[in-house]
Structure 1
Amino acid sequence: MRFNLAGAMLAGMLLAMTVQAEMICAFSFPKHDLPTPWPVTFGLPLAQGQARDAGALFLQDAQGAALPLQVKVNARWADGSLKWILLDSIISAGGEYSLHHYPERGKADSSAAIAQTQADGPLLLSTGGIRLEVPASGALWRYWQGDDEGQADLRLLLQTESPGPTQEENWLVPAGADKATREYGSAGDRERLVLLEENGPVRATVKISGWFTAADGSRAYQYIIRLTAWQGLPQLKAQITFVATEEVETNFLRGLELRLQRRGGSAGTGTVTRELSGDGALSLAVYGSPRFYHLVSYRERKAPVADISWHQGGSWQKLSSSEIIPGYFQSGRLTAAVKDFARLFPKEFSADAAGLSFHIWPERSGMVMDLRRRTGQRPEHHDYQNPVGGMGVAKTHDLYLAWDVDAPEKFAQAVNTVCHPVISPLYYRNTGAAGEYLLRSEEHFPRLEATISFYFKYLHQQCREGRYEGMLDWGDIPLMPHGQRDHTGASHPES
């Protein structure tokens, strides 16, 4: 038997190439009108034994060009191979992509990480698009972007007197006149924690947590901020969470503001632009209406309205009001946008010559957040049965900041777009990572699919007609507990 060395070498090379570059799956992103480039984060399951090293994975676009990729391993199979992974990348708008496995690639280079930790001193992040400093005291963070630099702080205002009797269902109530208040801030917090949660070649996320602190050292409300930066992008995301930790009978949220101290220059939103000097300030505000759901017909419920106002000479002047709400606010080169800004009312952006403010709860609205227990009102609601009322309630807001944005409307649209890949359900099932299950099929399961489709349409209709909006309601699904009656008297069975 003759041995063909050349043929064996060629076969070996082909086999090696096959082993070295195995495509794991193909997927696409919907062709949203996203700014280019745009960061994405998504998860994928892998079949057992398919890959062991996250550094051996790489991402390609439809033209075969490699894309920046950061992989976090969330779970492994019993044999140690990858089971669930979280991927970060920066893509163009829409298009086809594929994930590949290349065993010879080796482990990921940790030297490419965005953040730099120091034994003593602040955490430093440098993406090529922005530089950040996150200290353990003082300002929450400082930034440098070209000729723009600034720092961020939080301010909390609590009203310590009751605004009046509770109003069933409504948590957005008038503050009342001449009520006592107490001010707190993030700058005086001496127990702040700074934790680097993610640090890779594409994305770095820093968790900043602490307490709002008054001048006398007393504390109220917790804050948690997750600050995210992406390699090469002049862009930041600040996920701001506050926790209502105080007793609700004598503590009412009156104002909550994230302030970016920076040079203003000009401000604009929608079709309005103003130069900033002296006490000049521009505001975009959505204050909303009292939140009654079952006591008021849905036909009487109004859509939120945005007011654009100008401050000059010590007073505010309304420039326009509209149900068409701009999703962004600009201050000089900086563009700010908040996910679901219009639906998370009350909300406000304002800018003056000294900086930009995102008002999570606008003091200028004249309203407070009432979390008191509604004694004797609608006892079938579990939240009304809570002895401490809404104490412990928390809410998160997603604030995006970007510099030199050419199309702010497109940027705001991207902030409010869910950008997840479209992958074959068959791929998910074949990996076995989620166990055994049957794929959706209107042909094989017509009654089940019809029931599921109807129920989701019902939920969407309820949210739309009921206008389940506002900071404490948007994003929740209006479901009654099993075995109880709703406001119409209909019973919801146990099964």
Structure 2
Amino acid sequence: MRRQEKKPSQQSRRQFLKQSSVLLSSLPFYGKVPFAMPFPIPKHQHGTNLHWLGNHAPDTKRGVTWGVPWSKGALKDAEALVLAAAGEANLCAQHWVTARWPDGSVKWSAHAAVLGREDSGADLVLHKEGARLVRVDKSIVVAEDDDAIRVNTGSIQCVFPKKGGNLIKSIQLGTRMTATDGQLVLYWQNLPEQVAGEPLLSEVLTSEIRDAVVEHAGPIRVVIKTTGIHRSDTGRELLPFTVRCYCYLDTSSIRMVHTLVYDADEYTDFIRGLGVRFTVPMTDPLYDRHIRFCGDNGGVFGEAVKGLTGLRRDPGKEIRDAQIAGNATPPISTFNPSVAKGLPYIPSFGDYSLTQLTPDGFEIRKRTTAGHGWLSSAHGSRAAGAGYIGGASGGLVFGIRNFWQSYPAQIDIRHAHTDAAGLTLWLWAPHAPAMDLRFYHDGMGQDTYEEQLAGLDITYEDYEPEFGTPYGVARTSELEILAVDRTPTHAELANRVKDMQHPPLLVCNPTYYEKSGVFGGAFTAGPPKSVAEKAIEEQLAFYIDYYKKQIEQHRWYGFWNYGDVMHNYDHDRHVWRYDVGGYAWDNSELSTDLWLWYYFLRSGRHDVFRMAEAMTRHTGEVDVHHIGRFAPLGSRHNVMHWGCSAKQLRISTVMNRRFLYYLTADERIGDLMREQIEAVHALQRIVPGRKVGQIAAKGEDKVSMSFGTDWGALASAWFTEWERTGDEEIKQRLLNSMESIGNQPQGFLTSSANMDVHSGTFERVGNSNIHVSHLSAAFGLPEICAELIGSLHVPVFTKAWLQYCEAYNADPAWQKRYLGQTFSKPNLGQGHSRLTAYAGWFLKDLTLKERAWKEFYAGASGMKLGIPSTIRLAPPEVLSERDEAPLSTNAVAQWGLAAMQCLAFAGDPMEKGA
């Protein structure tokens, strides 16, 4: 039974009745909740220093949410925290707890504030004590009745309906209605493209709300969560959605996190367009209405609906300058009379389209209105997917985050010459080919397990009929809209868009993350302490930089692809094996996600954070089935992200999501983690290792489960839910599973057993055989076990894990002496050096620590120390320039994790060759 996390709003807000002319009626309100505004804190007082990720502070006031870890016992609760600017002026902020240590102290806290460049100073500081608090009667106001949720940020007033088709009914800035009728739109057709002799049928589906709730309410930050389905007039329903709208105090922007789940038939349902649509009231004269689009390079395309420049007759410099700047032009009486008289004959361009159909090219077109031809207006490489529509008296700034990276994308403006313009932010461009998610081959006669195993042997593709379906996969996109009271200058718009594309985020110093003890203490920070460590650090940095280049050089972009990397390289064709079975998309294989996140914690590099963020968004959504037969399991690596018939917890593991959740408090990531709590039941339907001899357990309450990839993923889900909510039932399941693993005849070396799906208890195996898989500890098991042992006292589990850590790379003599039997030397010896290091750290055993470094340097099934040789290829040998090194993603990820954890647990490395 799941328990819902206690929302921060329930801990911090009071409800009461309040009259409000803005909100139109007397309703139950969330707010006005007084919140802490402390007096200045003396400069000498210590606190937790914060800084902007990549030194990117918001250009103007903007809502920001971030997470901070705390050492066990350091903080009792988050309510007394105080945010200060460089130890001087204190700032209005909202604080809540996202995870606790076993002793009840805060492990992770989340924070929301409205900050601008002027607030950043040198550093921001979170203080725990010593502040004298006063109460300030100011907060976002939220009103709710049976029909709608109304939000007044103090800057804009918004109405979020609870039923119907509009997710956002209206956005009002002052007295101006800036946008209305915000809804989702989907274009469906029955064929991927027109085929001669076959009718092409199509329909338009729009959003239908099933539920809308205030998910989080506090004085600074409010989150409205709307769920529903796309529905047509004929009753066709497709692609359930969840849209979260984020509003912050005294700001006029709404951040939208848009999630869809694919529930269509990929052979009969083809999505031609998918977007978010608004109506934008237009009140200014046609020559004072403005359209802006932004390039990814900071450039701005800007035109008026009715242009006054370049005419045969000059209206006057003051008038031309005003229009170009986006300001209201002088009265028409001041126009050159010939221009004033000729205004009806100057065409008004009401329709504009920006299309990004590849990652390398966009086009802007415009026309007067439907039924007339388009003019090609501008071209470029990469658009920011953002711009402005409105007039000199105000309008709407808009943006789709990761626009060109998630191609094909499009922005349409229609009827800007009328009183009501249409703005559609297309996440999938209607001008692109329809979304075609059909499997890439016909099965090639692989109807039996024997034939499927033969296919696996030649292309590494685990194929099985009806398993390679996209049914249930998801995609999350981020958008933002901003109401403004005038047309922004080009520089202002470019800065706004920069913040939309790279949302400012507060982070801690890497040394602080290390000292807090979170994430199992599996990383260190700070400058290298020796020549040997410097060499390791340089190689860690090389791999990150190499993959950054590979992403760009091989264009690992696209709506369904962005965030993932490829698995293996083809040195003959000089391309990654994008079309070879199980060697294509990586899908988190061997903990690529963990490699990036631990390296970010170690380095603090903003580019690494963005790589890891994109990967978490992708691997948590696209690589996992969220509904249907395979939910909530993930799909192993394949040419198509969902193509592999191995549906496994090792891909959907919560271990890969926790970093982004705790660093940003993102609610959608919280959803993904909670999906996994009852994942054990999916293993009753889908046996994860069926092609390698795993047999389904008998009995409706039993499931066959490995102690490695399966239980490690389940344990991370249970542990995370417990530390988020304190759920004792979840904790007991976790404890039962840990104790029953420890009580197996060979502990973790027993490898697998049947689990009771209700209690989490494993049956004791009736033999003492040892089974060791090289993959058991390659998907987050070492990392979650370190956290479990550091948080829960289960001696038999700790003993069993330490035995496994010491035994994996041990020689036969050790095995015979301590286990009474031997087993064949397994694969991934270098990657498992981190297990030896952990055992050495826990047992304070110098010999084990030295052994760990020897295993690491030996490079078994990994890589040697040293920057690998890289060659630069150029046309005509290849299509475009690219770097090539003898690497595989598996080896890089495991090398990186081994390097960082050996440094954390085994201490200073030996010199190479020692």
Asked if 1:153 corresponds to 2:233, the answer is: no
Asked if 1:321 corresponds to 2:379, the answer is: yes
Candidates 163, 172, 182, aligned match of 1:144: 172
Q: Which amino acid aligns with 2:412?
A: S
Contact 1:485 1:491 in 2 (8 A): no
CA positional deviation for 1:450 = 3.4
Pair 1:99–1:386, CA change in 2 (3 A): farther
For residues 115 and 415 of structure 1, what CA distance do their matches in structure 2 show? 25
Contact 1:76 1:82 in 2 (8 A): yes
The CA deviation string for residues 420-470 of structure 1, in whole angstroms up to 9 with x for no partner, is 335333322323334434524534424432332222122112111101112
The CA deviation string for residues 300-322 of structure 1, in whole angstroms up to 9 with x for no partner, is xxx52111111224232211212
Candidates 364, 368, 371, aligned match of 2:437: 371
Residue matched to 1:99: 126
For residues 462 and 443 of structure 1, what CA distance do their matches in structure 2 show? 31
Residue matched to 1:334: 396
CA positional deviation for 1:484 = 6.1
For residues 464 and 134 of structure 2, what CA distance do their matches in structure 1 show? 53
Contact 1:46 1:82 in 2 (8 A): yes
Candidates 129, 135, 148, aligned match of 2:155: 129
For residues 280 and 267 of structure 2, what CA distance do their matches in structure 1 show? 37
The CA deviation string for residues 391-429 of structure 1, in whole angstroms up to 9 with x for no partner, is 223222211111224511111111122533353333223
For residues 410 and 386 of structure 1, what CA distance do their matches in structure 2 show? 48
For residues 467 and 559 of structure 2, what CA distance do their matches in structure 1 show? 22
Residue matched to 1:243: 261
Residue matched to 2:82: 58
SS, match of residue 268 in structure 1: strand
CA positional deviation for 1:63 = 6.0
For residues 478 and 217 of structure 1, what CA distance do their matches in structure 2 show? 40
Contact 1:255 1:359 in 2 (8 A): yes
SS, match of residue 343 in structure 1: helix
CA positional deviation for 1:80 = 2.4
Alignment of 1:287-302 (within 5 A): 287-288=357-358
Residue matched to 2:541: 453
SS, match of residue 54 in structure 1: coil
The range that moved more, 49-58 or 428-437, is 428-437
Residue matched to 1:295: none
Q: Which amino acid aligns with 1:52?
A: K
Contact 1:48 1:77 in 2 (8 A): yes
The sequence identity of aligned pairs, in percent, is 23
Alignment of 1:195-344 (within 5 A): 195-264=213-282, 265-269=289-293, 270-275=300-305, 280-288=350-358, 303-313=359-369, 314=371, 315-323=373-381, 325-332=383-390, 333-344=395-406
Contact 2:79 2:96 in 1 (8 A): no
The structure having more radius of gyration, on CA atoms, is 2
CA positional deviation for 1:182 = 2.4
CA positional deviation for 1:67 = 1.1
Contact 2:239 2:262 in 1 (8 A): yes
SS, match of residue 430 in structure 1: helix
For residues 503 and 265 of structure 2, what CA distance do their matches in structure 1 show? 36
Asked if 1:462 corresponds to 2:550, the answer is: yes
SS, match of residue 461 in structure 1: helix
The range that moved more, 83-92 or 323-332, is 323-332
SS, match of residue 448 in structure 1: helix
For residues 153 and 22 of structure 1, what CA distance do their matches in structure 2 show? 49
Higher helix share: 2
Contact 1:459 1:478 in 2 (8 A): no
Q: Which amino acid aligns with 1:179?
A: L
For residues 515 and 57 of structure 2, what CA distance do their matches in structure 1 show? 32
SS, match of residue 391 in structure 1: coil
Residue matched to 2:505: 420
The CA deviation string for residues 285-334 of structure 1, in whole angstroms up to 9 with x for no partner, is 1112xxxxxxxxxxxxxx52111111224232211212153542211121
Higher strand share: 1
Unaligned runs of 5+ in 2: 1-39, 283-288, 294-299, 307-346, 445-454, 569-576, 585-638, 640-883, 895-914
For residues 422 and 135 of structure 1, what CA distance do their matches in structure 2 show? 35
Residue matched to 1:345: 407
Alignment of 1:23-172 (within 5 A): 23-29=46-52, 30-32=54-56, 34-62=58-86, 64-93=88-117, 94-95=120-121, 96-102=123-129, 114-138=140-164, 139-142=166-169, 143-146=171-174, 147-149=176-178, 150-163=180-193
TM-score (norm 2): 0.45
Q: Which amino acid aligns with 2:422?
A: G
The CA deviation string for residues 93-127 of structure 1, in whole angstroms up to 9 with x for no partner, is 25311111237768999x85535253523111110
For residues 495 and 72 of structure 2, what CA distance do their matches in structure 1 show? 41
CA positional deviation for 1:25 = 1.1
For residues 148 and 196 of structure 2, what CA distance do their matches in structure 1 show? 39
Contact 1:160 1:179 in 2 (8 A): yes
Asked if 1:411 corresponds to 2:435, the answer is: no
Unaligned runs of 5+ in 1: 1-16, 165-173, 289-302
Q: Which amino acid aligns with 1:323?
A: S
For residues 160 and 340 of structure 1, what CA distance do their matches in structure 2 show? 29
The range that moved more, 22-31 or 365-374, is 22-31
Pair 1:309–1:178, CA change in 2 (3 A): farther
For residues 196 and 435 of structure 2, what CA distance do their matches in structure 1 show? 9
Pair 1:385–1:491, CA change in 2 (3 A): farther
What is the total number of aligned residue pairs between the two structures? 449
Residue matched to 1:433: 518
Q: Which amino acid aligns with 2:437?
A: L
CA positional deviation for 1:195 = 2.3
For residues 240 and 345 of structure 1, what CA distance do their matches in structure 2 show? 16
Residue matched to 1:299: none
Higher relative contact order (CA 8 A, sep 6+): 1
Contact 2:290 2:302 in 1 (8 A): no
Q: Which amino acid aligns with 1:159?
A: Q
Asked if 1:400 corresponds to 2:400, the answer is: no
For residues 249 and 350 of structure 2, what CA distance do their matches in structure 1 show? 36
Contact 1:207 1:224 in 2 (8 A): yes
What is the RMSD computed on CA atoms of the aligned residues?
3.5
For residues 172 and 197 of structure 2, what CA distance do their matches in structure 1 show? 41
The CA deviation string for residues 107-160 of structure 1, in whole angstroms up to 9 with x for no partner, is 999x85535253523111110111111111121112222312412011111111
Contact 2:87 2:125 in 1 (8 A): no
For residues 65 and 83 of structure 1, what CA distance do their matches in structure 2 show? 27
